Chains A and B, each alone.
Chain A
């Protein structure tokens, strides 16, 4: 089973700062089938990035994804007040088909 480990667990930053979130897989993620989601309290997750580096429809360009193989990064170039949330990475592959990381909480410093 492929395990996704996200770090740090919590990131304390101020609006305007840059956020760098890591997602590390225990094995290579096939075809970079790696996505990132944002989740706010009481809400469903929202797709941000798919295919490791492609922004989903309507996602601002301050969000960017990078990486390949087993190491992936989500970067928020300049935090807006609405960006403080929990972020999850997710991979798609085989057996089990889909796994999620443990999440990184981005909180206001």
Chain B
């Protein structure tokens, strides 16, 4: 059974960097693509970034200048860094497995990150 679990700070100050980690169990991270998706309170889902274990990455163009996704195969984890955050980056951040044909078939429970001083 594949399980994903997000971790990281729940509060980040404006202009700082948001850093989150997703721990994957039940499945080697050396298969599939792995992704971050976010959802501001009361709003729609927004895809942030995806990566394969060999480092093939893809980013949402609206966030590309500020975001980095990386994979640590030794820990079976992947991470998200989002620089220069503002209140607009306040959201629940989900990590997910991106399967072939573009479906997210396994999700973490999500972590609320609030940007506030």
Contacts and interface: CB of A to CB of B under 8 A. Distances in A.
A80 B103 CA distance: 25
Interface size class of B (residues with CB under 8 A): 20 to 34
B105 A56 contact: yes
Interface stretch (B10-18, B42-50, B67-75, B80-88): B42-50
A89 to B, nearest CB: 10
Nearest to A91: B102
B102 A103 contact: no
Nearest to B47: A98
A99 interface: yes
Contacts of B99: 50
Interface string A84-109: 00001011110111111111000000
A33 B101 CA distance: 6
A99 B105 contact: no
B24 to A, nearest CB: 15
Size band of the interface chain A makes with B = 20 to 34
Given A96-B60, A98-B50, A44 B109 contact: yes
Contacts of A37: 45, 104
Interface of A: 1, 31, 33, 35, 37, 43-47, 50-51, 56, 88, 90-93, 95-103
Given A45-B45, A45-B107, 4 more contacts: A31-B101, A37-B104, A44-B109, A50-B99
10 contacts: A43-B109, A44-B96, A51-B101, A88-B44, A88-B45, A90-B104, A92-B102, A98-B47, A99-B47, A100-B45
